[in-house]
Structure 1
């Protein structure tokens, strides 16, 4: 049986980076507010563990996104399929990513997708044209993480 997994991305502002990637991938930001209310009510966590983002309670330093068609837990909001978790860390990004996402456009839609991602806060780094091997853009998300758009 295949293992379940999620990709964890270090960040300096997890909720904002989750918003960017949810819009970029057309995923949904997970809503843990019902779970947070239960944990607060039972005294398992204190208010210091919680922040409000876009009118919802979320865990301080964490945010996640999930594919809209994948199953998820109704109480916690946690996805049970394709998922990215963003976690705040004290240090900033210092070098090139060792792992990155590739986003694929519809045929003929590369420039439109790159432009849409720029509108969300991404920046173009450089264009790669390898002839028959492919044509893509290397880009950076709002926190400087590299990704490719083909």
Structure 2
């Protein structure tokens, strides 16, 4: 039996980081506005638990992105497949990631992909050269989380 999962990434600004990763991966930013409106109307959610970003209501401190081809719940906007959830935490990042995302460029497009990600706000950290096995770039997203582009 396989399990359903999502990758949760600690952040300082979940909506902004979700925007970056949605653009970087070609994913869709989840829109929980309908669910939030229902919860507010029923009195099950206090106003202070809600924020707005890009014209959508979000749960404060949370934002998700999902693969555009995967199924999702239409009321909550939550993906049921490949999904990243960003959650704000009070403490800053304090070391190297133990888990990271690899972004795969099309053959011959590594430099183009790295440049595109830099325009979105990523930073190059270092190039890793494996000789005949190829090379890739270690980069950081706008909050300093490491990822690779190969």
TM range (shorter): over 0.9
Does residue 15 of structure 1 match 2:11? no
The separation in 2 between residues aligned to 1:102 and 1:57, in whole angstroms, is: 30
Alignment of structure 1 residues 48-127 onto 2, 5 Å: 48-127=48-127
Corresponding residue for 1:30?
30
TM-score w.r.t. the length of structure 1 is 0.99
TM-score w.r.t. the length of structure 2 is 0.99
RMSD after superposition:
0.5
Q: How far apart are residue 131 of structure 1 and its match?
A: 1.1
The separation in 2 between residues aligned to 1:149 and 1:68, in whole angstroms, is: 21
Q: How far apart are residue 134 of structure 1 and its match?
A: 2.6
The separation in 1 between residues aligned to 2:110 and 2:133, in whole angstroms, is: 15
The separation in 2 between residues aligned to 1:134 and 1:63, in whole angstroms, is: 35
Gaps of 5+ in 1: none
Gaps of 5+ in 2: none
